[in-house]
Amino acid sequence: MPNQLESLRQFTTVVADTGDFEAIRIHRPTDATTNPSLILKAVQKEEYRHLLEKVVTDHGQRPASEIVDHLLVAFGREILQIVPGRVSTEVDARLSFDTQASIERAHQIIEIYERAGIPRERVLIKLASTWEGIQAAKILQAQGIRCNMTLLFALPQALACAQAKAQLISPFVGRIYDWYKKSAGEQWDEAANAGTADPGVKSVKQIYDYFKSYDIPTEIMGASFRNIGQIQALAGCDLLTISPELLAQLAASTDPLPRQLDPETSKAHAPEWMASNEVAFRSEMNQSAMATEKLAEGIRLFAADGIKLDALISTARQG
């Protein structure tokens, strides 16, 4: 009898959400995603310290921002030796409101990959789903650089990303769940908000139904999971990026895992078409306290870890 991870692979592309190479080898995902927090966590492990040291030795005289990108690419290159598909590498979150700077950093990352012999088709550039980040993606996609839109919490963001022809979006299931749970406080009923009733799951399903109903080619990758119930409820989503801990839980279970999301079912209940432009984006985001707060919080957290990476590199340069 197949385990749940094997069952999930039948209708969803499994992606590892980690910078830990050994975990990736164990679970054999198709793709892998990284972010500043995951790389910061990985690079502090003794077994990955050599990557930081080599990058500093080879590029220590370069500007700090370039050294960070070399480090991110060093992890990405190692990951691409393990996975058959793509790796996502993130533009510094501190550039989330600067379209031109985001484009320039994306070019820098792609150039480092290409100089190392990695074709751009195997790399997804991660950008925050701010209006400015989405406009950067629009330009990059037109230049043949594929983008993964992260920190996505609501349909208006998803629609703007689709209009920009982004390759992929990453709606954050767990962080949406976190917001509603915190907001409800003592009134939160875990059982009543589990599985398909989970607010994060419902948000991704709304996006999935819309995209499939209107044949929008942008890939949907659920991200940021807190438990395997959220993953089970999104079985059938285009892709799911999952932490090693939850991948292990899925692999340990042989309970049936039925498909929950299906394009034909979505089309049978097509939602109403919605306009997508800058005014609609900003107005509808402003109406969602959850999306507004989680987007801002996510940028702050990733930016803080970016600063910590800078400090690690600075210390390594001095050593």
Q: Give the chain's domains with CATH numbers.
A: 4-318 (3.20.20.70)
Distance, in Å, from the CA atom of 37 to the CA atom of 164, rounded to the nearest integer, reads 27
Per-residue DSSP letters for 266-313? HHHTPPPP---SHHHHHHHHHH-HHHHHHHHHHHHHHHHHHHHHHHHH
Token look-up 């390759």 returns 167
Q: Do 286 and 18 touch, CB atoms closer than 8 A?
A: no
Which of 146, 144, 161, 174 minimizes the C-alpha distance to 240? 174
pLDDT in tens, 263-309: 999 999 889 999 899 999 999 999 999 999 999 999 999 999 999 99
Tokens of 56: 């500093």
Q: Mean per-residue pLDDT for 14-31? A: 96
Share of the chain above pLDDT 70, in %: 100
pLDDT at 317: 85
pLDDT at 50: 92
Distance, in Å, from the CA atom of 149 to the CA atom of 134, rounded to the nearest integer, reads 8
pLDDT at 245: 97
Per-residue pLDDT band for 243 (boundaries 50, 70, 90) equals very high
For residue 10, the SS3 value is coil
pLDDT at 290: 98
Q: Mean per-residue pLDDT for 34-53? A: 90
Q: Mean per-residue pLDDT for 191-197? A: 97
Tell whether the torsion through CA atoms of 79, 248, 7 and 266 is positive or negative.
Answer: negative
pLDDT in tens, 201-213: 999 999 999 999 9
Q: Mean per-residue pLDDT for 108-113? A: 98
pLDDT at 221: 98
Per-residue DSSP letters for 203-257? HHHHHHHHHHHTT---EEEEB--SSHHHHHHTTTSSEEEE-HHHHHHHHH--S--
Distance, in Å, from the CA atom of 41 to the CA atom of 99, rounded to the nearest integer, reads 28
pLDDT at 32: 97
Distance, in Å, from the CA atom of 127 to the CA atom of 151, rounded to the nearest integer, reads 8
| Residue tagged active-site, from 41, 45, 54, 126 | 126
Ranking 35-44, 113-122, 199-208, 217-226 by mean pLDDT, the lowest is 35-44
Distance, in Å, from the CA atom of 290 to the CA atom of 286, rounded to the nearest integer, reads 9
Which of 242, 238, 233, 229 minimizes the C-alpha distance to 263? 238
Distance, in Å, from the CA atom of 247 to the CA atom of 181, rounded to the nearest integer, reads 24
With 0-12 / 13-18 / 19 or more C-beta atoms within 10 angstroms meaning exposed / middle / buried, residue 12 is buried
pLDDT at 96: 98
Q: What's the chain's average pLDDT? A: 96
pLDDT at 316: 87
pLDDT at 111: 98
Other C-beta atoms lying within 10 Å of the C-beta of residue 48 = 19
pLDDT at position 199 over 80: yes
pLDDT at position 61 over 80: yes
pLDDT in tens, 133-176: 999 999 999 999 999 999 999 999 999 999 999 999 999 999 99
Task: Give the up-direction half-sphere exposure of residue 270: CA atoms within 13 A in the CB hemisphere.
Answer: 11
Ranking 47-51, 60-64, 296-300 by mean pLDDT, the lowest is 60-64
Tokens of 26: 């164990």
Q: Is 126 a catalytic residue?
A: yes
Q: Do 86 and 125 touch, CB atoms closer than 8 A?
A: no
pLDDT at 318: 82
pLDDT at 60: 83
Q: Mean per-residue pLDDT for 24-33? A: 96
